[in-house]
Amino acid sequence: MQIEYDEDTCIGMFQCVAEWSEFEKDKSEGKAVLNDSEETEDGVFVREIPEDAELDAKFAARTCPVDAIKIYDDDGEQLIP
Ligand code: SF4
């Protein structure tokens, strides 16, 4: 399972930070940071989700008010939002 985070869409409400510890606050930028992710295009960060963190990552994606976080299964199908 993969997670994709779009920094440009993020409005820094930080609900995701409360749901999954791999999201952190960058208060100077007013944006979330996705740890251990790779920037695959400008402002878009992607990483694998460890199996034991899938639930937390899904909660993070669901709680984002602007849908800046997407979840994909291993076949590349979008699960959330
Ligand atoms: S919940 Fe969404 S808008 Fe809020 S910090 Fe996380 S990614 Fe950004």
CATH of the domain at 51: 3.30.70.20
44: left (phi over 0), alpha (psi -120 to 50) or beta: beta
Which 3 state secondary structure label does DSSP give 25?
strand
Question: Is residue 34 lining ligand 1, measured as CB closer than 6 Å?
Answer: no
Domains of the chain: total: 1
9 alpha carbon – ligand 1 mean position (Å)? 8
The answer on pLDDT for 27 being more than 90 is no
Here the tokens at position 24 are 């952190």
Structure confidence by residue, pLDDT tens digits, 65-80: 999 999 999 999 999 9
* Atom 1, ligand 1: residue with shortest CA distance: 64
Q: Is the Cβ–Cβ distance between 44 and 7 less than 8 Å?
A: yes
Q: What is the DSSP letter of 45?
A: E
Name the pTM for this structure: 0.96
Domain range for residue 68?
A: 2-80
